[in-house]
Amino acid sequence: MDSILEMRGITKTFPGVKALDNVNLSVREGEIHALIGENGAGKSTLMKVLSGVYPHGTYDGEIRFRGQPAAFRGIADSEKLGIIIIHQELALVPLLSITENLFLGNEQAKRGRIDWVAATARARDLLRMVGLTDSPETLITDIGVGKQQLVEIAKALSKQVKLLILDEPTASLNESDSDALLELLLRFKDQGISSILISHKLNEIAKVADRVTILRDGTTVETLDCHDGPISQDRIIKGMVGRDLADRYPRRTSKPGNILLEVKGWSADHPIHAGRRVVKDIDLHVRRGEVVGIAGLMGAGRTEFAMSLFGRSYGRNIRGRAFLGGREVDLSTIAKAMDAGLAYATEDRKHYGLVLDNDIRHNVTLANLDGVAKRGVIHHEREIEVANDFRRRLRIRCSDVFQQTVNLSGGNQQKVVLSKWLFADPQVLILDEPTRGIDVGAKYEIYTIVNQLVAEGRGVILISSELPELLGVADRIYVMNEGALVAEMPAAEASQEKIMHAIMSSTAKPPAVTQTMVARESLQ
395 assigned to some structural domain: no
Helix, strand, coil distribution of the chain in percent, nearest 5 = 35, 25, 35
391 assigned to some structural domain: no
| Residue 35 main-chain phi, psi, to 5 deg | -120, 115
CB-based contact 361:387 (threshold 8 Å): yes
For 54, residues 6+ apart whose C-beta sits below 8 A from its C-beta are 12, 45, 48
Domain identity same for 168 and 299: no
Torsion from C-alpha of 172, 178, 182, 185, nearest 10 degrees: -50
Name the β-bridge partners of 237.
Answer: none
CB-based contact 177:145 (threshold 8 Å): yes
Q: What angle do CA 176, 442, 242 make, to 5 degrees?
A: 110
407 assigned to some structural domain: no
Domain identity same for 327 and 281: yes
CATH number at residue 335: 3.40.50.300
Residue type, 408: L
Domain's final residue, options 241, 274, 301:
241
DSSP calls for 114-170: E-HHHHHHHHHHHHHHTT--S-TTSBGGGS-HHHHHHHHHHHHHHTT-SEEEEESTT
353 assigned to some structural domain: no
Helix (H) or strand (E) holding 265: strand 259-269
460 assigned to some structural domain: yes
Domains of the chain: total: 2
Q: Please report how the helices 380-393 and 410-423 are oriented relative to each other, as an axis angle in degrees rounded to 10.
A: 120
396 assigned to some structural domain: no
Cα–Cα distance for residue pair 147/27, rounded to 1 Å: 28
In residues, how long is the chain?
524
The pTM assigned to this predicted structure is: 0.65
pLDDT by residue, tens only, the chain of 524 residues: 689 999 999 999 987 678 899 999 999 999 999 998 876 788 889 999 999 999 999 999 999 999 999 999 999 999 999 999 888 777 889 999 999 999 988 888 887 888 899 999 999 999 988 888 889 999 998 887 778 888 988 888 888 889 999 888 877 676 777 888 888 899 889 999 999 999 877 778 888 999 999 998 889 999 999 888 877 777 777 787 775 555 678 888 888 999 999 999 999 999 888 788 999 999 999 999 999 999 987 778 999 999 999 999 999 999 999 999 999 999 999 999 999 999 999 988 888 889 999 999 999 999 999 999 988 899 999 999 999 999 998 888 888 999 999 888 777 888 999 999 999 999 999 999 988 777 677 788 889 999 999 999 999 999 998 888 899 999 999 999 989 999 999 999 998 889 988 887 776 544 343 333 333 333 33
Residue 408 is predicted with a pLDDT of 86
Q: Which domain holds residue 87?
A: 3-241
412 assigned to some structural domain: no
Domain identity same for 153 and 34: yes
390 assigned to some structural domain: no
Cα→Cα distances 177→108, 174, 184, 348, 513, Å? 30, 5, 11, 19, 9
Domain's final residue, options 208, 241, 274:
241
